[in-house]
Structure 1
Amino acid sequence: MAERRVTQRDVASASGVSPATVGFVISNTPTQTISAATRERVLRAAKELGYVPHGIARAMREGTSRVVVLNIDASLEGNYSRSYIQGLDEELATHEHVLVIKHGRPSEDSTARLTHMVSPRAIVEFAANYSSGKELADGGWHDGLAAHTATQLSYLADRGHRRLAMALPENPTVFARIREEFARQTVERLGLPPLVTLIVPEPAAGGVDAVREFLRADPVDAVAGFTDEIALRVLHCAATLGLGVPDELAVIGYDATAYAALSSPALTTVYIDAEAHGRRAARRLLGLDESDLAGAPARVLVRESA
């Protein structure tokens, strides 16, 4: 038998006030003058009884849902997305909203069905910034994707590498191409020769052939992976080809996945704490001030590969 839900009437009975007064206190109604002592008594009773406001009823009163949906493509999942989701979820919860995560690339039909069933307050696209004209809307060269990419490439340059490549998967996404463009701009700012692009396909044999032909045609000092996964593919190919890492070819990943530390040599990578990004997104969609939320700078986890 399910435990009976504690109601405002229960809180009213426990605190010796009317249910209406409880409602005014719980919803913090600005037009009602309630003494501090009465307010404290109601809130104490609500806490002791374990009262939780009924979200559906509140949403009906406010004319808006308290559900926020996040669309995220599985290919973008990593440390950045995990910390972003943590910040988004915690900040929404602070303001009495619930986060629902929907995996996979959304279609118009799936979005319409979701909206009909849930009626969310907002649907957030995880990579929404990374479309034409919005690439720097996430913090740009200060603490956004551009800055994180610059951290990756600048690390290689600081260690004396001049001929740099960015390794991408086959059929790169728009997100990958934007990272590549930020990498090109970073290399230009550093006064290095133009960045070159290395496509690393699957399976492993295809990747080895591609890396062999690439290095034969355009030898480079170091490779920056689009993600840790791509960087690990490059490490595998380098080992198969008998290349010394990092002496003959330095390799750095991106987004600090758990597998990066398990490779041999262990993969140097970029760690990004995106909790503040998620919190800023939550406040933005709720129409709240976000100026006090500063993001932590990206940092390099130095290991053996670069």
Structure 2
Amino acid sequence: MNQQPTAPTGTPTSADVARLAGVSRATVSYVLNDTAGGRVGEQTRQRVRAAAEELGYIPHAAARSLRAGHSGIVLLATPEITLGPLFSEFFTELRAGLRDHGYTAVIYGDNSGDGGDRAESAARIWAELRPTAVLAGVGTPLTPRSAELLRRSGTRAVITLADPPVAGVHALVLDQRRIGATAAEHLLARGHRALGVVVPTDRSLDLFSLPRLAGVREAVDGGIRVERLDLDYTEQAAARLAADWPGLGLSALFSYNDEYAMLLMSAFQDAGIGIPDEVALVGADDLMLARLLRPRLTSVQQLLPPGRTLADLIDRLIRHPDTPPEIHDLGTARIAVRDSS
């Protein structure tokens, strides 16, 4: 009587799969790494896959990386801050697009250290994963030297969201100043000459809030007053600002984003301050909830490209690693005018 192969008791290997399927290890590699071409018949493919599933075998990523010459990992390096629903949706689309191209998106967040030392330290940590590409988000450390370190370790495309771009590195520019300028231009067109600008006290948001404040200031001339208003994201802080509002001599408020605008709208209404009669209120990000408020919230829309479009770009840069550094404008801004302004 023929004895059937039995499953191993330890971690299954490709040799175990080969024995169970009755094929060579090379055939297992061809089938499970989708490199068989026409060399393996469909029945053999099915037998190999069934054996791998029965044994619970998963190909070793490191070995696959050696064969392919890269890991297939696209490292999305982001600061450890909350970017909000708009960017969460964008990154979800990006990850889906990368997956369609056969890449694995890995998110890495780190706020440790500073300056060039931080950049080189971060690059060494990223390089340990042997990423095929690195997309360094706003606020993550990247310098020409650390980018070169990544390339020497095998990274085929290094891309940054920094503004200004890093020399010698592909750049996707999302100018936060444009958000503030768009809000200011709308309020100026409505006749306001004394503007408040909310700046969150959460310093991790300075990467976004300070450029938006700068954008407001750049959009106005010398006869316009711009007042910075630092604000905690709490009901108590919003209530204090509402109580102080009549004495500030301001007529309009750009509130950093829709979440802060909604917080302040509630505080102003509780204080009996009319919107937009006593305070014209503008947010940013154009969240769905902002459209459901009463009065409906005027908001600056950030028009980002589809995440899948960015995935296509990353794939092209990976496939052509000698492409000279490219700078792409990542979206624009426009005002969605509603009742609050």
- TM range, smaller chain: 0.5 to 0.7
Looking at structure 2, the residues matched to 192 and 20 of structure 1 have their Cα atoms a distance apart, in angstroms, of 76
Q: Structure 2 stretches of 5 or more lacking a match?
A: 1-6, 18-23, 51-57, 140-159
Instruction: Answer whether contact 1:276 1:294 (CA < 8 A) is retained.
Output: no
* Shift in CA distance, 27/205, structure 1 to aligned 2, threshold 3 Å: closer
* Shift in CA distance, 28/272, structure 1 to aligned 2, threshold 3 Å: same
CA-CA distance at 1:186 after TM superposition: 2.3
* Shift in CA distance, 234/58, structure 1 to aligned 2, threshold 3 Å: same
CA-CA distance at 1:305 after TM superposition: 1.6
User: Residue 169 of structure 1 aligns with which residue?
Assistant: 200
User: Residue 68 of structure 1 aligns with which residue?
Assistant: 74
Q: What SS does the corresponding residue of 1:300 show, helix, strand or coil?
A: strand
Deviations 1:228-270 (A, max 9, x none): 1221222123213311101221111111234323433332222
Looking at structure 1, the residues matched to 59 and 335 of structure 2 have their Cα atoms a distance apart, in angstroms, of 44
User: Residue 338 of structure 2 aligns with which residue?
Assistant: 303
Instruction: Answer whether contact 1:130 1:174 (CA < 8 A) is retained.
Output: no
Greater Rg by CA: 2
Deviations 1:11-38 (A, max 9, x none): xxxxxxx998998999999xxxxxx999
Count of residue correspondences: 290
Alignment of 1:43-82 (within 5 A): 56-73=62-79, 75-82=81-88
Deviations 1:162-216 (A, max 9, x none): 332211112542331122112211234xx86143212223532333223443551
Looking at structure 1, the residues matched to 329 and 230 of structure 2 have their Cα atoms a distance apart, in angstroms, of 35
Q: Which of residues 220, 239, 244 in structure 2 aligns to 1:208?
A: 239
CA-CA distance at 1:97 after TM superposition: 0.9
Q: What SS does the corresponding residue of 2:266 show, helix, strand or coil?
A: helix
Looking at structure 2, the residues matched to 90 and 64 of structure 1 have their Cα atoms a distance apart, in angstroms, of 20
Q: TM-score, structure 1 length as denominator?
A: 0.67
CA-CA distance at 1:119 after TM superposition: 0.8
Q: What SS does the corresponding residue of 1:298 show, helix, strand or coil?
A: strand
CA-CA distance at 1:226 after TM superposition: 1.1
Q: RMSD in angstroms over aligned alpha carbons? A: 5.0
Which of the two has greater strand per residue? Answer: 2
CA-CA distance at 1:85 after TM superposition: 0.8
Q: Which of residues 120, 137, 141 in structure 2 aligns to 1:126?
A: 137
Q: What SS does the corresponding residue of 1:100 show, helix, strand or coil?
A: strand
CA-CA distance at 1:65 after TM superposition: 1.7
Q: Structure 1 stretches of 5 or more lacking a match?
A: 11-17, 30-35
Instruction: Answer whether contact 1:198 1:214 (CA < 8 A) is retained.
Output: no
Looking at structure 2, the residues matched to 130 and 80 of structure 1 have their Cα atoms a distance apart, in angstroms, of 16
Higher relative contact order (Cα pairs below 8 Å, separated by 6+ residues): 1
Looking at structure 2, the residues matched to 162 and 226 of structure 1 have their Cα atoms a distance apart, in angstroms, of 18
User: Residue 302 of structure 2 aligns with which residue?
Assistant: 272
* Shift in CA distance, 296/217, structure 1 to aligned 2, threshold 3 Å: closer
Read off the aligned partner of 2:237 and give its amino acid letter: G
Instruction: Answer whether contact 1:81 1:274 (CA < 8 A) is retained.
Output: no
Q: TM-score, structure 2 length as denominator?
A: 0.61
Q: What SS does the corresponding residue of 2:253 show, helix, strand or coil?
A: strand
Q: What SS does the corresponding residue of 2:254 show, helix, strand or coil?
A: strand
